Structure 1
Amino acid sequence: MPHATNGDVDLYYEVAGDESGGDGDAGGGRGGGSGGDRDGDPIPVAVCGEIGYGPWQWGWQHAALAGPRRLIVPATRGTADSDAPPGPYAVGDLAADLEAVLADASVRSVDLVGVGLGGMVALRAAARSGRVRRLALVGTAAYGGGLDPDPLWADPDDPEALESSLRAAVTDDFMSYQPDVVSRIVEWRALEDADRDAWEAAREAVRDFDLTDRLYEVTDEALVIHGTEDRVCPPAKGRELAEGLPRGEFVGVDGAGHLANVEASREVNDRILAFFDGG
């Protein structure tokens, strides 16, 4: 799998799908029309992950997004096989990491999906980069104040803690009715999630982020998706973000927690695909 570099930081990322059109999975046939770039090819999609989580968090989007488009899945610094330099990190650092990955993957124009901290990274990238076309932001706020990501943390070497901490990310119903999925998530987290030092470094990025007075710089269309039962980033924060963005739209996902892209993946994927395709 490819690696990109941002200064001294080595960044692992994965690529799936077909940039030029071709056969797809669940997303097949959805990349044409307004989804094309200047040359008529479908615009790739890149994803930006929540604090401390490895690429496993995008397993519920993989088949839907990696159809006729290319899907770029970076491992945030400190997770999976990406380097974990000493902290603290800043959202600007993580946006620069994303830019390095997109450049390495020869992506000129991109649609971004971000969750939590990843949504903040997507916002910063959209404000600074000419590559970004549209944004889909899940469980995201315009600033870090008033957020409580701390319950998401768990030691990757402690399976019980990994499972228990999922209760901050999804609802109790998901935990009760999807025990096999929960078990697999625990296994993936043990392999890919950040250790304590890297998690704390990323926590500083959340704490210091504030784009409230500069949301006007994000002129791209943005779909703000929020689980109504989000205990990490209250839905009011998502509404506030959508209202502050020049071209923002808020969509609530009834009964979903913070990781609405996992818990209500079918609804979230359908909304993201329709949005990216201009629907």
Structure 2
Amino acid sequence: MPRATRDGVSIYYEHEQGAGEPVVFVQGLGYGRWMWRWQREAVAGGHEVVAPDNRGTGRSDDGLSRLVTKLPGKLRTPIIYTLAGYSVEGLAADLEAVLDDAGLYDVHLVGASLGGMIAQQYALEYGRAKTLTLLSTTHGGEDAVAMPEETREVIFDAPKGASERETIRHRMRPAFSDRFTNRNPHLIDRILEWRLEQDAAEPARVAQAAAGANFDVRDRVWELRTPTLLLHGTDDRVVPVENARLLHEKLPNSRLETIEGGSHLCFIEEPDRVNETLLAFLDEHERSTARSRSP
């Protein structure tokens, strides 16, 4: 099991060989590696694939003080959120440690939601990103369109007396469209199993939420000349689609593809559409490299 270490914290990642340039998938807030299963299947074989567990998720250590994590939830949550949370800069540094450990350069970074924030920060601070694919994300700051209050109340709520499974189902509702949830009850049940197995525990989820809340590169994204594909559902109830349009305006080398009626997890609801667009983007930039290297 490959692992990288930064500041004494062990970060787990999966590394699969393939014929093409490496594609690195970066997870969203609290989500495990399962969230990319459809995209990983699409690129497998044709590309080398790396999928890290963000700090505190899956098999990665959380790096949090045990004195804090053992506190009752009502006391623990505000302490972690305000004083002991992660930062996107730190999560990007974790990603750099993973790619350095794997010996990879010229990678195609794919990040969704918090993972899209990490990908932006990474590309600003480090030199291994050849392209960016940013899904359902934002550049943060006061210019960004905030998460609707009714969504915030749901995804950070813990219904009284609910089991862990019931809490996850409740919090996940705004991320999917009601149509998808109603039509795919068996898949939703399977996703709940994956989440119970791989997702971040509550203290780390709060620490990741703090990182997302404090993220702000609105005055720096214009520095990114990295070719960037923006994918966003028009009915995203978590990160409104206006954020993709703001990114597109500020990123000098970006292309925006909106998915009509798409949710926050549009890459799960409409994997064929997302995969087709992603693969075409990767192919375009891999072929451009081959042409530039030919005599």
* TM-score over 0.5 for the pair: yes
Question: Where do 1:134-213 residues align within 5 Å?
Answer: 134-143=131-140, 146-147=146-147, 150=152, 151-153=154-156, 158-213=164-219
Mark the structure with the bigger radius of gyration. Answer: 2
TM-score by length of 1: 0.88
Q: Corresponding residue for 2:224?
A: 218
Does structure 1 conserve the Cα–Cα contact (< 8 Å) formed by 2:26 and 2:54?
yes
Does structure 2 conserve the Cα–Cα contact (< 8 Å) formed by 1:13 and 1:75?
yes
Does structure 2 conserve the Cα–Cα contact (< 8 Å) formed by 1:136 and 1:225?
yes
Gapped regions of structure 2 (runs ≥ 5) = 65-83, 286-295
Structure 1 residue 12, shift from structure 2 partner: 0.8
Give yes or no for the alignment of 1:2 onto 2:2: yes
Q: Corresponding residue for 2:79?
A: none
Q: Deviations over 1:198-225 (max 9, x none)?
A: 1111111111111111012211011110
Name the SS for the 1:184 alignment partner.
Answer: helix
TM-score by length of 2: 0.83
CA RMSD between the two structures: 1.7
Count, aligned residues: 257
- In structure 2, relative to structure 1, the CA distance for the partners of 1:223 and 1:138 (3 Å cut) is same
Question: Where do 1:1-279 residues align within 5 Å?
Answer: 1-18=1-18, 21=19, 42-86=20-64, 87-143=84-140, 146-147=146-147, 150=152, 151-153=154-156, 158-278=164-284
Q: Tell me the distance in 2 between the aligned counterparts of 1:260 and 1:184.
A: 17
Q: Deviations over 1:169-194 (max 9, x none)?
A: 11011101111110110001111111
Q: Corresponding residue for 2:77?
A: none
Name the aligned partner's letter for residue 68 of structure 1: G
Does structure 2 conserve the Cα–Cα contact (< 8 Å) formed by 1:78 and 1:194?
yes
Name the aligned partner's letter for residue 9 of structure 2: V
Name the SS for the 2:14 alignment partner.
Answer: strand
Q: Tell me the distance in 2 between the aligned counterparts of 1:133 and 1:71.
A: 14
- In structure 2, relative to structure 1, the CA distance for the partners of 1:154 and 1:63 (3 Å cut) is farther
Percent identity over paired residues? 39
Name the aligned partner's letter for residue 66 of structure 1: A
Name the SS for the 1:166 alignment partner.
Answer: helix
Structure 1 residue 16, shift from structure 2 partner: 2.2
